[in-house]
Structure formats: C-alpha cells, structure tokens
Chain A
Amino acid sequence: MATKTKPNGKSEKNQPQSTRLWLMFPPKLITRPIVWELGQKFPLVTNVRQASVTDEIGLVSLELSGSRGDIKAAIKWMEKLGIKVEPVEINVIES
C-alpha cells in the first residue's frame, strides 16, 4: 500500500532526507579530499561510516543529509569526477 507521499516530485525537492551511499574511488582520486570538497560545494551534511583505502581502490560509505535536489546534484558531481556511486542497498536489481 502506498504511504502518504506527494504524487509529484517537485514539491519534494526541498524536503530534507538522508541517503546512504557507497563510493568507489579509482586510483587517481584516492588522495583527493573529495568528501571535504563536497561539503564545500553543496549544502549537505556528510557523515563517513566506513572506509577502506588500498593502492587499487578506495571504498567509503557515506551518509548525505540535505535536500533531495542537492543530494542529486552532489551525486552527479561525484560521478563526473569518475567516482562510482551506489546506494548502500547495492544490487537492488537482481537477476
């Protein structure tokens, strides 16, 4: 059953929400302070929950809180830099 949600996306754009993400950094970005940059660029609260960095890959689980629009823009920005951004619920699509 559908809960009380607004039928159109527009009015939700500015409602605060939290999103949990896994970030995967390619080697060339491992040393760049992406999470700090993100906090400067977007009005979002960042909260790192887990991280593992090797020469090969950096994995960071990050919680982002803020408006839906800002979260979406931040994800776009990270993806443009070459970071893979997945929901913590990875594999939502199974075979």
Chain B
Amino acid sequence: MDKQTGFMKALKCRECGREYPLAATHVCEFDFGPLEVAYDYDRIKASMTRSAIQSRSKNMWRYRELLPVAGEPTVGCEVGFTPLIKADRLAKRLGIRELWIKNDAVNYPTLSFKDRVVSVALSRAKELGFTTVACASTGNLANSVAANAASAGLKAYVFIPSDLELGKVLNSLVYGANVVGIKGHYDEVNRLCAEIAGKYNWAFVNVNMRPYYAEGSKSMGFEIIEQLGWKIPQHTIVPMASGSLLTKIHKSYQEMTKLGLVSDAEYSVHGAQPAGCSPISVAQKAGLDFFKPVKPNTIAKSLAIGTPADGFYALKVMKETGGAADDVTDDEIRDGIKLLAECEGIFTETAGGVTVGVAKKLIASGKIPANDSAVLCITGNGLKTLDALVGHVGHTREIRPSLREFEALIEAETKSPTAA
C-alpha cells in the first residue's frame, strides 16, 4: 500500500474525466463538475477478500480499502456496523414478503449515518495536515463534526442558521465546538459559508473535503451486503436530501460486484423525500433527468435541501436500476415513525418516517412487488426530532395512587380497546 495515497489513484471529474491530485479540492477547474475518488481496483481485489473482511473489527473500517484514506483511519474508528434487523412485523403491515431495517439510528457516536461520512472526512483531513475542521449544518452533520473533532483533538467551527432550535445548538456546543449562528436567509448563509470555505485553510467537510466525505456513505451499503450473507438486496429504499447517500449505496453495490465479493444480481434503488421538499422525487415521477429547485417546508428538516447537489446523479441511479421515488406528507411521516416504533421497537427521526412512508406507497402501488425482499435505510434517531411528534402520539393517563382508579382505567380500556 502506498504511504501517500493508499488504494486511491486520483480525484476524477464526474463530467469530463480529468484527473486531479488527492488534495482538498472538489470541483473541476474546467467545467465545475464534482470530483470523485478513483481507486486502484486491481490492488484492492488482491487485498480485500471475504475472509479478510470478516477477520476485522466490526465497524465501517473493515472495508477500508474502499474508503478514501491513505493510512489507517484516525477518527471515528468505532463508527458503523449498525444492526440489520429482519422486520417481520413491519413486513406484514406493509404487505411485503421480506423486509430488513438497516438501523443507523444507533450509529456511534452521534446517532445518525452522518458519523460515517464525518469519520472519513476527518481522518483524511488529518492526513492532509489540517488542524481545523468545519461545516455548515442544521443538525446531524453539525453534531457529528463537533463530536468526532472533539475526540480527535481537532478544532471545529460549526456554522448554523441563527434561528435553529435550542436542542440542536446544545447538541453541538456541548462538545466544545465553536458554533457560529448566521443571521440571514438560507441562500445568503450558503454563500457566506462557501466564501469562508474558500478563504480559510480549513477542512470544510462537505465543501473542499466532499469527494472523501461522500465516500463514507458507501459503508452503509457494504454492511448491508455482508449482513445479508453476501447478497445484494432486491430493493433498497433510501431517504434523499442532496441525493448523495442514494448514489453511494448504488456505488457500494457496484464495487462489491466488481471485486467479486458478491455475485452479480439485479437490484433497484428507490428514493424517498418529504412532500414539502421533493425536487428529486417529483422529477423522477415525471420522468425528467433534471429537477426544479424548491423552497422547503417540511417537518423532515434533515431532508430539507431544495437544490440537491447530487439530485441529477440520484435520478440517473434510479433510472439505471429500475428504481422509483415518492414523497409523503407531514402526517404520513409521523405515521411512518409510529409504525416503525410500534412494529419493531425502533425510534427514528423524521427522515426515517419518510423512508417508511415511501416504502409503504411503493409496495402498495406494486413498484416494489409484494413477493420481493427490501431493505429500508433508517438514517437517524427519533430523540433528535421530538418536536415533530409533540401532540401526535397520544398522552399519558393520570390516576391517583389508588388501585380502584387503576382498575377503573383497565376496565374502560377492555371495553373500548382502541382507547389505548
């Protein structure tokens, strides 16, 4: 393995194919196309066998040849290998033969799939000599950067819109990150952060580190394959904000096939969005290659990106794999959260509610055939979006400390069981 580059060959433009050195850059100088990491698959094939993988620790770094760091990872070494659960009760409710839940609601350390991308971005940032890392975020990404930077001894700047909920602010401040609230509307904040990223010599995880960062999402797909017994699922349903996770799940299936770690199989990757921010799913349903930007208005704030950077590529993946997309309303999102909790004992955030709700629609419409098998990507934890459920999950019934009152309550319940 090369000390400087590991199994990586170069950064490569997704539009024109020009190659760039493995530095902290993310756009092609010629056409502004996004850069992506290119690997030396021949060398990877020699080193990455099923038995080699299985002999390694149970975290996302057991697939390290396909993750863009040169040496051993130094940040987020325990991230990943979250449970894949056979969800028989939910399968029955949704009307499908076989259903699995990939549960990143319990990803370590900050309870969302973002720990995967951040551990790669920060490990690579350290290799490139950065001592300060940064991001602009409204939630999960901020938490993950703040926490992983703290444990790695990196200085962190986290930019947030100034009107963010207190819970999310505290969730980043507690790790000692420098949290900067920016007054202004979304587009202005976006532009300022792009300027800051261009000006300061920091590792901005989703700007100049994006080619490395985005690759971290592949680990979710690698784990799904291994945990299914080295099989690619027939259907995978993925929530979409920028659309990056969906494209990387697809890439992970392709890479494992190319390396002979799994046999070639037909599969479809489906996308899920909230109706209040659905540029990608609306375009998919209309059969378009391009999306129209929208102004988000949804309780699924972690998916509220109106101009998705990877929307174009996500549409392409769905088209190529015969996947579909759909969107669900705020009420359907809450129903999805409750359904997953009641059937499987898993409490997901609003993004997970979107995934469950869309799965239900795609199965009902036959776009996912009832006789097939599917994996739902649950990407975040319900404890982070409690606000969305207040007033929607029933209420406690209070009694005085008297057995008589309790029995009256039970009796009322047996008479009308739905009241429970």
Contacts and interface: CB of A to CB of B under 8 A. Distances in A.
Given A20-B32, A54-B290, A61-B32, A91 B199 contact: no
Contact of B290 (A57, A61, A87, A92): A57
A94 B206 contact: yes
Contact of A91 (B31, B140, B308): B308
Given A92-B207, A94-B241, A95-B141, A49 B32 contact: yes
B26 interface: yes
Interface residues of B, number: 49
Interface in B174-204: 186-187, 189-191, 193-195, 197-201, 204
Interface in A29-72: 49-50, 52, 54, 56-57, 59, 61
A93 B200 contact: no
Contacts of A87: 190-191, 194-195
Interface residues of A, number: 29
Interface string B264-290: 000000000000000000000000101
Contact of B138 (A52, A85, A93): A93
A5 interface: yes
B302 interface: yes
Interface stretch (B64-72, B75-83, B128-136, B227-235): B128-136
B161 interface: yes
Interface string A70-95: 00000100000000111111111111
A2 B290 contact: no
B293 A24 contact: yes
Contact of A3 (B190, B195, B199, B301): B199
Given A24-B293, A52-B290, A56-B292, A90 B307 contact: yes
Contact of B194 (A5, A49, A59, A92): A92
B329 to A, nearest CB: 19
Nearest to A62: B32
Interface string B215-227: 0000000000000
A3 B308 CA distance: 31
B137 A91 contact: no
Given A1-B201, A89-B27, A89-B197, A95 B139 contact: yes
A86 B141 contact: no
A95 B303 contact: yes
A45 to B, nearest CB: 16
Interface string B222-263: 000000000000000000011000000000000000000000
B141 A94 contact: yes
Q: Identify the interface centre among A19, A75, A91, A94: most chain B CB within 10 Å of its CB.
A: A94
Interface string B291-310: 01100000001111101110
A19 B139 CA distance: 27
Contact of A86 (B155, B187, B241, B290): B187
Nearest to A84: B293
A95 B302 contact: yes
B304 A95 contact: yes
Given A49-B31, A86-B190, A95 B241 contact: yes
Nearest to A88: B32
A90 B138 CA distance: 15
B407 to A, nearest CB: 48
A49 to B, nearest CB: 5
Contacts of A59: 290
A32 B186 CA distance: 27
B331 to A, nearest CB: 21
B248 to A, nearest CB: 14
B197 A92 contact: yes
A93 B293 CA distance: 15
A10 B40 CA distance: 48
25 contacts: A22-B32, A49-B32, A56-B288, A57-B290, A61-B31, A85-B191, A86-B190, A87-B190, A88-B27, A88-B32, A89-B27, A91-B307, A91-B308, A92-B190, A92-B194, A93-B137, A93-B138, A93-B186, A93-B190, A94-B135, A94-B137, A94-B305, A95-B137, A95-B138, A95-B305
Given A1-B131, A20-B27, A91-B308, 13 more contacts: A1-B155, A5-B199, A49-B32, A50-B33, A57-B290, A86-B187, A91-B190, A91-B206, A92-B190, A93-B137, A93-B186, A94-B135, A95-B139
